[in-house]
Amino acid sequence: MRISFRKTVLLAVFCVSSLCLLTGCEPSERKVLSSSYYKELQQENQKLEKQVEKLQEEAADNSPTVDEERAVDYLDKIARDNLVRLEVGYADNMDGSEFVDNEAAFTFATLLAKRADLTQKYTPEEVEEMYGPGYEYILYDEDNAVYEVYVYGGNYVVFTDLPNNVYYVYNASALGDAFLHYRNGYPNSSLLHRLADSALIIDEAGMFYENETAFAAANSIDQMEKERSSRREARRTWRQEEREESGTGRPKPVTYTFYHHGNTMVLTMFDSFYCIENMDGKRTWYRAAEEDVNQLKDLFTQASAQMQEEINEGSQNSQEEETEEEPSHSSEIEEESDVSSLDEEE
């Protein structure tokens, strides 16, 4: 009897459950809203809404303003421009400025715009107060547009058309260091030190090189095993090699002009012979192992490839800001260098 009653109850429960399923019977809204699962979903949804609001605010903050878009367009125009003239001078007195008509210098001037990285470290007033008047560059393009650039502390730049912005531009002072004479007279130094301190080097193909290459070249010359020679000895050697069919006569030279505060020095390399022309026009000839001279040539070849890659990129290359101006490398070469007599002509 009990077993029959249990079966009846179970059958009734089964029928009621089946009826609920068939008729779409669901838990009431009140029960759903009061369930712990629903409350967890509500909390998760609130967290997501806050995250969305935060992301929207950040996106709005990161959206470029009209002034920022104008600055980007301005720098891009300089970077792509074709200059026809360049004026370099001291910012507090442009009466003694130098006009430069050199394609390599034009390319370097436009490269400043590519390297420009906006910094919040200083205001224009603060950077001028900290570093004082530096260099002023005036760029003239083929459409008669004029760009004025002020350089402070070696690496900080203010464009007059963007007066509220300060940009970090690596090696921005190179044009002034290369083409402007010292105001208080030229300091005493050896030729090797002047080579190492040169701000720019320009080759016959119109490629330019910066101070890192100048320092590396001077250091290579310093470390190279060499002996003093002469043009006469070089010509005699080339003629003899040509007679013995071990050479083709005078090799084609490669020439690099070093620019150092308004003066120039010229390095000319042949095979095992090379000569250095001082800023007074005197030349000193040297002879070294041809392998060593070729390594010096390779140094310039590699630097040229790297510089050409940067020029072709067409995008800004941000540089880590430095608190002080780049130190001179010349002190790293010992005064007792075995080529300290380079100033003397044979």
* Mean pLDDT in residue range 202-210: 95
Tell me the domain boundaries of the chain.
67-179, 191-319
* Mean pLDDT in residue range 165-177: 96
Q: Which of 61-65, 130-134, 256-260, 266-270 has the lowest mean pLDDT?
A: 61-65
**Per-residue pLDDT tens digits for 19-47:** 455 555 556 666 655 677 667 777 778 77
Structure tokens at 125: 């007033």
* Mean pLDDT in residue range 194-210: 96
pLDDT at res. 315: 44
**Per-residue pLDDT tens digits for 9-20:** 445 545 545 545
Averaged pLDDT score across all residues of the chain: 83
Structure tokens at 194: 């002047």
pLDDT at res. 323: 43
What is d(CA 256, CA 141) in angstroms, rounded to the nearest whole number? 27
**Per-residue pLDDT tens digits for 287-321:** 999 999 999 999 999 999 999 999 888 544 444 44
Query: Residue 140 class from Cβ within 10 Å (0-12 exposed, 13-18 middle, 19+ buried)?
Result: middle
Helices 290-313 and 103-115: crossing angle, nearest 10°? 50
pLDDT at res. 228: 96
Share of the chain above pLDDT 70, in %: 75
What is d(CA 134, CA 141) in angstroms, rounded to the nearest whole number? 23
